[in-house]
Each structure stands twice: as C-alpha cells, then as structure tokens.
A and B are shown apart, each in its own frame.
Chain A
Amino acid sequence: MSISREEVVHVARLARLALTEEEIALYGEQLGRILGHADRVTSLDTEGVPPTAQAIALANVFRPDVLNEPAPCLSQREALANGPAVEAGHFRVPRILEDGDPSGEEVAEE
C-alpha cells in the first residue's frame, strides 16, 4: 500500500501544512504503512455484516433542551483568555483569505 506524492501534497494543503520534500517522502511512506495496516481488514470476510460508523451499539443519546441556571457558559473574559489576540470582546483574527491563501475558499472579485 502506498500513496502518491500528489495525494500527500493535497492532504497537507487541506490541513494547512507546509511540508518540505523530505517530509513529503517521509509522510507518504508512513501514511502508506498506516493504510496498509487498515487494508488487512479488507481481507476479512464481512459478508452479512452491516456497515457501521460506530464501534459501540448505542443510539439516541440526547440531552434535554433545558437552560440550566446558572448557564454553563464561560464569562467573556474566560472565553477570550486563550485567544492570541482580542479586541472589543471578540477574538481578533488575521484578515481572511489573503492572496495566496491555500484555503480553497472563495473570495468576491472586484
């Protein structure tokens, strides 16, 4: 099991990782081994086993829609405490979607 250089670059881009050529080669090989391990599962006979996204046989785990007093919310000060930059009660973030931003998002054209 191996994955191509293009796949590694694509996944790295989606995860916002800037990889060197050496890292691309290294992670390509490591990811290939992980996938190879998972690939062994396909050798099992799963005839008659329904597909599932869950390893535990649970369903319908819910929470009642009740607003507790006091609310479980953080104070604004606590909420912002770990923010790298804060302004006027908000998290301050760098401008979104700069040129060359690899986000794959959309920008309105002038």
Chain B
Amino acid sequence: MSDLVTTIGLEIHCELATSTKMFCGCAVGFGGEPNTRVCQVCLGHPGTLPVPNEQAVAYAIKIAVALGCGIAPSSIFHRKNYFYPDMPKNYQISQYDIPLGLKGVLEVTTDAGTRAVGITRVHLEEDTGKSLHMGSGGRIHDATYSLEDFNRAGTPLVEIVTEPDMTSPEEGRAFAQELRSILEYLEVSDVRLEEGSMRFDANISVAPPGERGAKVEVKNLNSLKSLHRALAYEEVRQREVLGGGGAIDQSTRHWDERSGVTRPLRTKEHAFDYRYFPEPDLVPIKPSPEWLEAITSGIPELPPARRRRFIADYGLTPYDANVLVASRAAADYFEDAAAAAAGIEPKQVANWLANDLLGRLSERGEDLETTRVTPQALGALVGLVAGGSISGAQGKVVLDEMMVSGRPPAEIVEEKGLKQVSGRSELKAVVAGVLAANSDVVDRIRGGDAKPQGFLVGQIMKATKGQANPAVVQELLKEMLQG
C-alpha cells in the first residue's frame, strides 16, 4: 500500500505574552496559587463587560502579517457557545467568519524538500481555565469530581489553522517547529511548550492519490515530539486499516502520550452546535493603515530569510544555519560572537557555539540568556584557538572556566599558563627527550607497529603540561621517527 498518500493539516493555539488578559486587567502568568489572577470579568459574573487588550490585537496582527496573511479591514468577535466548567461564561469569545488574518503561507523544509504550507486563517480568542480531575486515575473518565482554576481563563490566545498541505509527519513537525521559531522571533509569545503556551491539534488522512480520505482529528498534542509521534502512529494505523481492506471513519481521536497510541473519542450527537453569533459587547476591529504600518515595521528578519543570509554571508552549512536560526537567542548570539571574532571563519564560531557552549549549557540547565559567557567572550576564545595561542582541548578547559567565572578567556589562559607551544625548535627538544626515554617503544614503531605512537604523543603532551600544539607534535614525531 505504498501508493497511499498522507494528508495533514494543523491547528495551533498559542498564548500571547501580554501583561494582562484578553478582556480584563488581570495578570497573565503560569502557575501560582489557584484563582488569584481572576476578576468579575474573567469569572463571567453577570453584568460585566469585556474590553479588548490592544497589545493582544497588535500581536495577533503581527503574527498574521508574518505568515503572509491579508488583514481584514474590519473583523469582529463572535460568541462560541458551549457548556464546560473550565469556561465560566458558558461561551468563549472567539472569531468566526471574519478572522483577523486570512490566506497566508509558510514554507517548511525537510529531507524530502521544501513545501509551501497554506495558512487558512489567524484569529484571536481567549483561553479557558484549567481542570484538575480528581479520582483514582486523575483522568477525566474515572474522575469523581473536578477542581477548576481560572487563572488561565481569559489569557489572549491566537489560533492558526493551516491548509491540509503537509504530506508526512516530518513535515507536520517541521511546520510546528518553524512556526514556533517565528513566534519567538516576533516576541509575541514565550513559546514554552512545556507550560502549554503552544498546543497542537492535527488532521490526518490517508488515501490513494487523487482521492479524498476520511479526516481523522488528533487532539491533545502538547509538544513537537508528541505531535510527530501521534502523526506517525496515526499514519501507520490508517495505512494498516486500508491495507487490510477496511475503511477509515471520519472521527476524533485522543493521543495518549504514555502508551503512545491514539484512541477514539465517542462523539455524541449534536456535538459542535456552537450557535456562533456576533459578540454584542464588542465593536469591530478596523486597523488603520498607520497602525498596520507600525505593527509591520516591528517585524524583524524572520527565520527563512535569516537562514539564507547565514548560509550566504557566513558560509555556514544549511544544517548549522538551521540549528542556530531555530532560536532567535542563538542566532543573535552567533552574530555577536562572529563579529567579535572578526577575521576568523564564522563556521568555527558556529561550531563552538552549537557543539560546545549550547551542549554545556543544556547539561547545566542554563541557557544563552542566563549564561555568564558573553558572545564577545566566546568570539575571543574562538580567536585564541584559531590563532594557535591555545589548542582546541585547552579552549574547552577555558570555556568551562568562563562558564563558572564569566571572566575573559585571555585572562584565564594567562592565569592557568595555558599558552600553546607551537615553536618547532622548542618542541623538538621535548620530543627528542621523550624518544630517548622510551627507546623500546621507538624500536617497536620503527619495526612497523604504529600503535604505540599515541603513547608517545601522550608523553609529549604530559611533558609540556598539555601546551604543545598537537599538529606540530605529530609533524615532528613523524620526521624524527623516520630519522
């Protein structure tokens, strides 16, 4: 059944990083004591009126513009009516037929190539509260009752819906990753997936080419990893059902992270009759050309353009460019460090940043914002290594020290006496001494056994306290063993 085609569309919810909620002045935040960031408005008390947060509207417009959407000259809010205890008003203020942004596109690249994914719409709404299901398993269906915390209720939420343009779980994940990067670049969301600030729902269908498969919606995807795993699971499941002569029902399934499977949800009749109607308490949003211009001019260079520039201007590989550009913090850091290491191949700065610094930071639970190593200091360190003042191995020792003390690399090199010795005449004496002291080893090597050569290198490094330039040592050893 390899001639089957997979079709994937995504729906992404993203909390906006405003100070206050969408329709009231309560603080937006994560965690804290339950029901302490709530007021009469977000608790849905009778007689209260919502007033939209201007910054949230601006952020949503910024996202829509960045995704290439057209901005509605006049868009309105609707009430989406349904009963659920995490929503105290019994309706969610959302947008329906006239969303803020329509018809955009985002290109994503995987090993299979680049694909343009259509953006159907971008709209603004409010988040719900959080339910804690109390009972034996902590799950909704074996709960005996639930506890409601409305601190999150009313947090500004942007919903981004794509066209069903993706054809593999990898493209689905790549899209989510790219979107996450863009939201980080736009500084409109803290994009902390582990805190639920970005959440995914996916539609996936499998069918022979040219045919329309039954759409299966998968819910409860709260990380890039679970998005990918759920899509991969569902793709295989649908292929197996079709391969066995079965049929896929249009349905909704829930991703179970623990067991790594999707399970069907029983949908009762009359579901999704939300009776949308225009929110009578809110007036239309009609962005002026000046406001749109101000918002648009605040959009920085976005990942796709920055990636191209990193490859063209710094000579980075597409892989390195991808790694660095994925996070705005890493890309900014790289550019500052590369500027500080003027004259040094930027590729080396990229290696030190991506392989050495970022690796060490994640081991220690730090990041580029908290580290004591400034981009200028990293650039200086790469300069010392590239210029031959210290070896790569010494550089790593210096980096460890920089992470602890935040001191400039040159100072650490000086203090630890870490100068690399590259002078041939100086090293020649050391090599000669080591050879003389290990004549048995020398004989074995000259007899054709190359193995103990590493031992000799080790002895030379030891004799120079690790300061010998390894390349020069290798060169000298080769010459002198022949001689």
Contact = CB atoms under 8 A, between A and B. Distances in A.
A103 B83 contact: yes
Nearest to B284: A59
A61 B282 CA distance: 8
Chain B interface residue bracket vs A: 35 or more
Given A67-B20, A80-B35, A106-B267, A59 B74 contact: yes
A62 B140 contact: no
A80 B264 CA distance: 36
B38 interface: yes
A13 interface: yes
Contacts of B74: 59
B167 interface: no
A19 to B, nearest CB: 16
A63 B270 CA distance: 37
Contact of B35 (A59, A60, A76): A76
A49 interface: no
B19 A66 contact: yes
A93 B36 contact: no
Contacts of B282: 61
A93 B283 contact: no
B273 A108 contact: no
A41 B341 CA distance: 74
B25 A93 contact: no
Interface string A6-38: 000010011010000000000000000000000
B188 to A, nearest CB: 12
A89 B35 contact: yes
Interface in B269-285: 269-273, 275, 278, 280, 282-285
Interface residues of A, number: 45
Contact of B144 (A13, A54, A95): A95
Nearest to A88: B147
Contact of A63 (B33, B37, B54, B278): B54
A47 interface: no
Contact of A107 (B24, B25, B52, B140): B140
Interface of A: 10, 13-14, 16, 53-54, 56, 58-68, 71-76, 79-80, 87-97, 103-110
The 9 closest A-B pairs by CB, nearest first: A53-B278, A65-B55, A90-B147, A62-B54, A91-B148, A89-B34, A59-B286, A63-B51, A104-B270
22 contacts: A14-B273, A54-B280, A58-B283, A59-B283, A60-B286, A60-B287, A61-B52, A63-B20, A63-B53, A64-B54, A65-B54, A67-B27, A72-B25, A73-B37, A88-B34, A91-B35, A92-B145, A93-B146, A95-B145, A96-B143, A103-B82, A107-B266
